Copies of this chain bind each other. A is one copy, B any other.
Amino acid sequence: MLTYTLNDTDGPKYLQLSKLIKADVESGKLKAGDRLPSKRTFARNSGVSTITVQNAYDQLISEGYVTAVEKKGYYVSSFRKPLKTAPVIESTDLPEPDLPDLSGNRMREESFPFSIWSKLLRETLSTDRDKLLSPIRAEGVPELRKAIAGHLASFRGMSVSPSQIVIGAGTEYLYSLLIQLLGRELVYAIEDPGYGKLSRIYAANAIKYTKVPLDEKGLSAELLCSSGADVAHISPNHHFPTGITMPLERRYELLAWAAAKETRFIIEDDYDSEFRVSKSPVPTMYSLDGSGSVIYMNTFSKSLASTIRISYMVLPETLGDTFRRELSFYASTVPSFEQYTLSRFISEGYFEKHINRMRLYYIRQRQAVIDEILMSPLKDSCTIIENSAGLHFILSINTEKSDETIKSELLKEGIKITSLSDYSSIKDSHKFIINYSNLDMKILRKSLLIISGII
């Protein structure tokens, strides 16, 4: 006969009882199919009320330990889902070892305009209180969309109406909106090599995608066409990681591809265009497009800070209508505080100043990194694949050693680096990504020595 001793100090009796029964199930003393005593008998034997037993049984049923069979009684369950055990140790919250990373883009504190941002936030919090608490449209607040349209006009020569702009908490979130907007049945082409997260995002959303190999000009309409894709997700202005800027004729070919069919679209990701070095950039695909096929995307992750979580997309007019009709029930994902502060930052001219300051800094930094490479023992065994845009370039190394060997030798010294093969199905590219935006010269020098020692 099942009896347990309960006490007055260990919390509610029904919980004590259910815990004791659980322990017996887990130790095997009670087995699947065993019948538990009736509530009345059990109550009498354990010196508690039948209500207490009822509550204990309910608890056990809800946890899957016990099954109630009508008019028969209570039985130990034969099936049970894995239990929640003790709270997980916080090992997952330990920061990852923060090694110097030649390919990484960790920001320096001086790169963010803290004092101006702080001033504008204060202004926003003291003058816009009513607006700050009013519901935000799915597309974002009008002030910020207007400021972005102005920025695109002056920096990118793009003619965009604020009503075409949708603001979201990061480009990844906007991708998920685009999937809903364009349709889940379409096939998405992504670049190979390319930004690795794209395939993970499409896979996580159960979207069909196909990787299309690039040539030296980027994606070709011919391969795109034969891939059978409907949507081309590309970064033509500064491809990651190769650094390719797609030439004009390629852009026209892709636009012709898109114009030929109603369901074809191009997602143009212009993630770091603010920091191009060259003065006369190729126009965006969006600007060249006349058939309403190009969705332009950009982010403040590179131009301001990745942790600010503000990106935006420019929808062609017809897609904008569809968005307002079908998806505007969503709440905006960006806090109003950030939206109003950023709109001040742009419209009061701070963003332009910030970009100019950072661009100058990056040009100098880039030159310093190149100089360092050209003075290193590696100088005759490598080529810098330069490109006039963005914050990284490619260091091509003349070696027989595998990419993995070079990476692991560096890692032994506590330095990380990424190779082109990390973003591609091609192994051993002998090409490595150098993100110069915040590179420490001592680390670079040491890395160049190590590499030249092993090749």
Interface residues of A (CB under 8 A from B): 58-65, 67-68, 79-85, 87-90, 92-93, 106-109, 111-112, 114, 117-118, 121-122, 125-126, 129-130, 132-136, 142, 145, 159-164, 169-170, 172-173, 176, 180, 184, 197, 200-201, 204-206, 248-249, 251-252, 255-256, 259-260, 262, 288-293, 305-310, 316-318, 320, 324, 326-327, 329-338
Contacts and interface: CB of A to CB of B under 8 A. Distances in A.
B164 A88 contact: yes
Contacts of A130: 109
Contact of A112 (B133, B136, B318, B324): B133
A117 B126 CA distance: 11
Given A204-B326, A335-B338, A290 B169 contact: no
Given A81-B259, A93-B142, A170 B331 contact: yes
Nearest to A62: B255
A129 B142 contact: no
Nearest to A61: B256
A176 B179 CA distance: 12
Contact of A309 (B62, B308, B331): B331
Contacts of A80: 259, 291
A118 B68 CA distance: 55
A291 B170 contact: no
Nearest to A91: B163
A361 B36 CA distance: 50
B317 A335 contact: no
11 contacts: A61-B255, A63-B289, A80-B291, A84-B289, A85-B317, A88-B320, A89-B163, A133-B307, A170-B333, A335-B335, A338-B338
B84 A260 contact: no
Contacts of A206: 184
Contacts of A121: 118, 121, 125
A252 B129 contact: no
Nearest to A331: B170
Contacts of A59: 252, 288, 290
A262 B81 contact: yes
A292 to B, nearest CB: 5
Contact of A331 (B90, B259, B306): B306
Question: Which among A67, A84, A87, A316 has the greatest number of chain B C-beta atoms within 10 A?
Answer: A84
Given A64-B291, A309-B334, 20 more contacts: A62-B259, A62-B288, A62-B289, A64-B259, A84-B317, A87-B163, A87-B164, A90-B142, A90-B162, A106-B133, A109-B129, A109-B130, A112-B132, A121-B121, A169-B173, A173-B173, A180-B204, A204-B327, A307-B336, A308-B336
Contacts of A197: 329
A217 B366 CA distance: 67
Nearest to A292: B84
